[in-house]
Structure 1
Amino acid sequence: MIKIIMHGCNGKMGQVISDLVKADKEAEIVAGIDSKDSIDNGYPVFTDITKCDVKADVIIDFSIAKAVDALIDFAIEKSMPLVLCTTGLSEAQIKKVEDASGIIPVLRSSNMSLGVNALVSIAKAATEILAKSNYDIEIIEKHHNQKVDAPSGTAIMFAEAINEVLNNTYSYNYDRHESNDPRPKEEIGMHTIRGGTIVGEHSILFAGQDEVIELKHTAQSKAIFANGSIKAAKYLTKKSSGLYDMNNVIFG
C-alpha cells in the first residue's frame, strides 16, 4: 500500500484526489497539508507543513505557487518523492525544483492528463511538417474564472514543446492590442479566456494559406488530472532521484 501526503488537500483538486484514492486498493492518503483545516477528510490535516510528522512514501501537490518553496524543503528533509502539479512557478522556483531533483525524485508536469501529454507529441509532429511550410502557430486556452495564473501551465507546455522543434527560435506573444504591425512569422501567439466553470480547454492552431488545422483537448472533469497524479505517485515511489514528467509515466 502506497502512503500519500496530499499537499493542498482542501482545494478542488485535493478533494477529487482524496475521493479517488478512497477507492484505490493500492494507495491511501495518510495526511494532508493545507492553509485551512476546514474539511473532515478522514486523515489528519496540518496547516503548518513543518509540523507534519506522518510517515509516507510520496507527496502529491496541487496547491499554489507561494506554498511550493516550503514544500520542496519539506520533501528534501523527509527524503520523500514529490509529484509537483502546481503551475505558475517563478524562474527561481523552477531552479529550486531542478536542484531538488538531484536529491529526491521529482515529477513536475503542468498537466497530468494522458490525453494532453499525448497531444504534446502530436503537436510536435505537426510542427515538423507545418511550421516549415509557413503556417502560423496560435494557442488558445480556456479555464474557469477562479484560475489565477495566465496563460495556463499547459499552454506554456505546448508552446515550449513546439518551440523545441523549432530550435527555440520563436518568441511568445501574449498581447497584441498595442501592436499595429503585421504578425511576424517566428512567433507563437497565446490567448487566455477565463469564465464560468470551464475545467480546461486548449487549442493549437496551425494557420496557413487558405486552411487552418486545429489540435484540441477538452477536459470534461478534474478526474483526468487526479487519476494522472495518482499514477505518477505510484510510478515515482519506485524511482531514484531525478526530474521526471508524465511522458516517463506514460511510456515507462
Structure 2
Amino acid sequence: MADSTGPISLTVHGAAGRMGRRVVALGLADPSFQLVGAIDHAESPELGKDSGAVAGEAPSGVEISSHWPALDEKSIKRAVIDFSLPEAIDGCVQHCVEAGSPLVVATTGLTEEQKQGLSEAAKSIPVVWAPSMSLAVNLSMKIAEQITAALKDVSGGLDVEILERHHRFKADAPSGTALKFGELIAGQLGESTSHVHGREGHTGARTREEIGYHAIRVGDNPGEHTIVFGMLGEKIELNVAASNRDCYASGALAAAKWLIQQDKGPGLYSMFDVLGMSQS
C-alpha cells in the first residue's frame, strides 16, 4: 500500500540553472521535502556533480542527471518543479503525464502551443503554472486589477504603462509577468485594448485603448515591475521588486506543497489558487 506520510519526493527540472539551484537549496532546507531528482540537459557541465554542492549547500546525495529518477512506488507524495527553458519544457511535461506526477511550471516564455500542451496535460495530472511564483507579485496583480476596475472610466481617461527590469541574461521580453499584468488589466479595460511594445519615431498621440510595455535588461536584477496608472493631474505607480531569487523558489515550493497537501486532482491551477485568491 502506498505511504501517504513522510516528506514529498521532489524532483527539480533545470536543477543546474540559476533558479533551479535555489529551488534545490531551499528544498534541502525544508523538512517537508526529500530531494530525489535533479535534472538538467544532456550537455550541462554540471552533470554527475552533487546537486547540493552545485547549489552552494552541503552535499545532497543526489547527482545532477539528464535522466529522470525511478519512481518510488511506496510514496504517493511526489512532485516536479520545472525552472528550465521553453525548449526543455515539453519533455518534462511528457514525463510527468506518464509518471502521474503533479507538476509546478515556473518556466516563462512559453509558446501558445506549449501553453495548450499544459492545458492538455492538466486533464490527467494537477499542474500549477504561473508567470511568476512570487507572493508579492501575485498580490500586486490583484491590486492592479482593482485599480483598473476603479479608474477605467475616470474623466479624462486612464493610461497604463508597464515597465519591467530584469538581469542581462534573461532571454524573453517582455517578461511573462509583465504580460500577465497586461492580460489582467486588459480584462478590466475591455476587448478593444491593444498592446504596444516600446515606442519609436513619430508615433502620434497615445490612444486611450493601449497598454504600453517597456523591457529593461540591466546587471543582475532578479525582477522588478512598475505599473503606471496615469490620469490628467495625478498618477499611481505600483512597484513590486525582488531583492533576490529566493522569493520565486520559495513560491514554487509552496505551490508543490499546496498540490500535495490539498490532494488536488487533475487541473490547471495558478498562484491565485495556491494563495486562495482565485478569480472565481
Tell whether the structures are fold-level matches, with TM greater than 0.5.
yes
Counterpart among 134, 137, 147 of residue 126 in structure 1: 147
User: Which of 73, 82, 97 lines up with 1:61 in the alignment?
Assistant: 82
Match for residue 64 of structure 2 among 45, 57, 60: 45
The residue that corresponds to 1:112 in the other structure is: 133
Q: Residue 53 of structure 1 aligns to which amino acid in structure 2?
A: A
Name the residue aligned to 1:148. Answer: 171
Count of aligned pairs: 250
Aligned to 1:32: 38
Offset at 1:37? 5.5
> Which runs of 5 or more structure 2 residues have no equivalent in the other structure?
1-6, 52-59
For 2:276, the equivalent position in structure 1 comes to 251
Aligned 1:66-81 pairs, distance under 5 A: 66-81=87-102
**How far did residue 53 of structure 1 move?**
2.3
CA deviations on 1:47-92 (whole Å, 9 max, x unpaired) are: 245xx42447110010000001111111101011110000000011
Q: Distance in 2 between matches of 1:249 and 1:60?
A: 15
Q: Deviations over 1:103-143 (max 9, x none)?
A: 11010000011111000110000001222211100000000
Matches within 5 A, 1:175-194: 175-194=198-217
Does residue 217 in structure 1 map to residue 227 in structure 2?
no
CA distance in 1, matches of 2:37, 2:71: 7
How far the C-alpha of 1:46 sits from its partner, in A, is 2.2
Q: Kindly report structure 1 stretches of 4+ aligned residues shifted beyond 4 Å.
A: none
Distance 1:151 1:202 in 2: 11
Instruction: Tell me the residue number matched to 2:110.
Output: 89
Q: Which residue of 2 aligns with 1:9?
A: 15
Alpha-carbon contact 1:30-1:54 (below 8 Å) kept: no
Percent of aligned pairs with the same amino acid:
37
Are residues 169 and 28 of structure 1, via their aligned partners in 2, closer, same or farther at CA, if it must alter by over 3 Å?
farther
Deviation at 1:101, TM superposition (A): 0.7
Partners of 1:132 and 1:61 lie apart in 2 by 41
Secondary structure (helix, strand or coil) at the match of 2:12 reads strand
Q: What is the deviation of 1:17? A: 1.1
Kept in 2: contact 1:9–1:34 (CA 8 A): yes
Map of 2:255 onto structure 1: 232
Give the match for residue 204 of structure 1: 227
Q: Is the 8 A contact 1:4 1:31 kept in 2?
A: yes
Supply the distance in 2 between the matched residues of 1:168 and 1:236 (Cα, whole angstroms): 33
**Aligned AA (1:81):** P
Structure 1 SS opposite 2:89: helix
2:55 aligned partner: none
C-alpha separation in 2, matches of 1:230 and 1:173: 34
C-alpha distance after superposition, 1:155-182 (max 9, x if no partner):
0110011111123331110032145221
Helix, strand or coil at the partner of 1:123: helix
Indicate the residue corresponding to 1:138 in structure 2: 161
Deviation for aligned residue 1:212: 1.5
Q: Structure 1: any 5+ residue segments left out of the alignment?
A: none
- CA displacement at 1:249 relative to structure 2: 1.0
